[in-house]
Amino acid sequence: MSTDNEFEELDISSNEIQNVRKYLEKRNTAVITTMFTDIKDFTLITEEKGEEYSIKLRKIHDEILQGIIEENNIGLVVKFIGDAVMAIFSEPSAAVERALMIQQQIKEFNQSNDEFENIAIRIGLHMGQVTIDDHIQADVFGRHVNRASRIESLADGGQIYLSYSVFDSAKGWLASNDSLIWKLHGNYFLKGIQNPIEIYEVVDSNYAQPAPPKKGDKQRSIPKAFSSVLLIITGILLAFGYFMYQSTEVSFVRFYPDRMMIDGKQLVVLEGSKSDDSRKSLIDIPTGHHVLHYDVSAATRYYSEVDVERGKNFLEPMFEAVRLPSFNHRQGIEEGSKHSSSKTKSFKYYHFIDGKKIDYKSSITLDLNSQLSETNPDNVKHEIKIVIDVNGTVITKSISDFYDISKSSSKRIKDEIIFEDDFHDYVVSYYLTRTVADISVR
């Protein structure tokens, strides 16, 4: 299918194009993230419940989604297409955030509304440039919308799938949210698109876990161009008894995180560019079991275990996020009163040391006592006690500080080190005002 036909199929009016143009001008951007959504099995719902029921349900659905997408003018609903919604965002992180909000609000709607049966929303996100010299390229815009629609078609109800471009741009925001997890499901061939698309999923771990597409044409780990050739070569080598003398070659397939390390000590250097379907390693990787990792923040690391065999290897690592503990405790203060509170949070995570997986159990307890100073009525005295337990090793830190309530500005203390070893680096930061004490350990 040509891009022109794809664009005509979308049937986007000149008014809708004008709305997109105004949104881009207001946001001063040439790049958009396109969101495409629909209601799973909506046709079946209409057949079973009737047209009147489905129209009423769709109206509520449209109001929920439009309210979330366009709140504070963050996004723009371009078009309603039956039970589907097409929207755009100037920031990929905002698109992901609103997609998560949609799924959460739909869950709340299902739980609180007895008039309608539960519905499930599928969401696809794709990002790309749509203007050149301040003019919207209609065929390019149509192509990006088409890709978002194709990505959405792979998802099941309640899922959010996104392309690599969205994930790569939003991963910093994703890493800052402890409850969010994401997973690469692999490369999928989509209708009307020549090259396979890398499919990621984002979920809130409080409510769901990632799941690969139930349908779709997934690219094999070994690129199709190489598969038959490798089978022939392998057969010849086996027949002549030379297999044991094969050299080892490692290539990575379609996912190349920045500063990927192998076995915790060596940077993986790859030939080619990120747009290539596969990239050969320029460092020697011996046969055997290896651990790959890359960091997206000081507290978030992604791990994948891979095995390298003699001969040609095409690796498609499946990375899993490991987040170090972090904890925040906020206490309100009323002048002339004494306040005491205590909070504890437990964590489970792991780390690799010399290729061995080490499991960790830890907890952080924050005790906070706030009261007026007995010697100076203008001072509020804050006593903070921090107890950290890492696999049975207990670290305790006590802090006393004063806040002058006659001042209007807040008092901030940043990143005081409590404990550090080869893997952990716990720091405390806090700020104090007339009415609030806020403590963070990470």
**Percent of the chain residues topping a pLDDT of 70:** 86
pLDDT tens sequence across 38-52: 999 999 999 999 999
Residue carrying structure tokens 């504070």? 72
Q: Which contiguous run of DSSP H or E holds residue 349?
A: strand 339-353
Least confident of 255-259, 269-273, 342-346, 433-437: 433-437
CB 7 within 8 A of CB 141: yes
Selection from 377, 392, 390, 380 nearest residue 441 by Cα: 390
DSSP assignment of 364-420 equals EEEEEEEEE-SS-TTEEEEEEEEEEEETTEEEEEEEEEEEETT--S-EEEEEEEEEE
Distance CA 203, CA 76 (A): 23
Kind of pairing between the strands at 311-315 and 248-253: parallel
Position with higher pLDDT, 68 vs 256: 68
Kind of pairing between the strands at 278-280 and 248-253: antiparallel
Burial 217-254, CB ≥16 within 10 A → b, else e: ebbeebbeeeeeeeeeeeeeeeeeeeeeeeebebbbbb
pLDDT for 74 beyond 90:
yes
Burial class (CB in 10 A: 0-12, 13-18, 19+), 271: exposed
Position with higher pLDDT, 340 vs 236: 340
Distance CA 73, CA 147 (A): 24
CB 290 within 8 A of CB 304: no
pLDDT tens sequence across 132-163: 445 566 666 777 888 999 999 999 999 999 99
DSSP assignment of 288-320 equals EEEEEEEEEETTEEEEEEEEE-SEEEEE----E
Q: How far are the Cα atoms of 342, 343, 369, 401 from residue 328, in angstroms, in the given order? A: 11, 9, 15, 18
Q: How many CB atoms lie within 10 A of CB 5?
A: 13
Adjacency order of strands within the sheet including 75-81: 75-81, 84-89, 31-39, 121-129, 160-162, 197-204, 180-189, 217-218
Q: List all residues 6 or more positions away from 92 whose beta carbon is below 8 Å from its beta carbon.
A: 33, 125, 127, 165, 166, 169, 170
What are the φ/ψ torsions at residue 17 (nearest 5 degrees)?
-60, -40
pLDDT for 227 beyond 50:
yes
Instruction: Calculate mean pLDDT across residues 93-113.
Output: 94
Structure tokens at 352: 């690799």
pLDDT tens sequence across 292-318: 998 877 778 889 999 999 888 988 888
Which residues on adjacent β-strands are paired with residue 164?
Answer: none
Amino acid 5: pLDDT: 36
pLDDT tens sequence across 362-417: 888 988 887 776 677 677 777 888 888 888 888 888 887 777 776 766 677 777 78
Mean pLDDT of the chain: 82
pTM score, whole prediction: 0.54
**Percent of the chain residues topping a pLDDT of 90:** 32
Question: 323 in helix, strand or coil?
Answer: strand
pLDDT for 242 beyond 60:
no
Fill in the DSSP letter of residue 176: T
pLDDT tens sequence across 273-288: 777 778 888 888 999 9
Q: How far are the Cα atoms of 101, 179, 210, 318 from residue 182, in angstroms, in the given order? A: 16, 10, 7, 11
Distance CA 79, CA 84 (A): 8
CA angle, 101 as apex, 98 and 105 as ends, to 5°? Answer: 140
Domains of the chain: 3-218 (3.30.70.1230), 224-323 (2.60.40), 327-441 (no CATH)
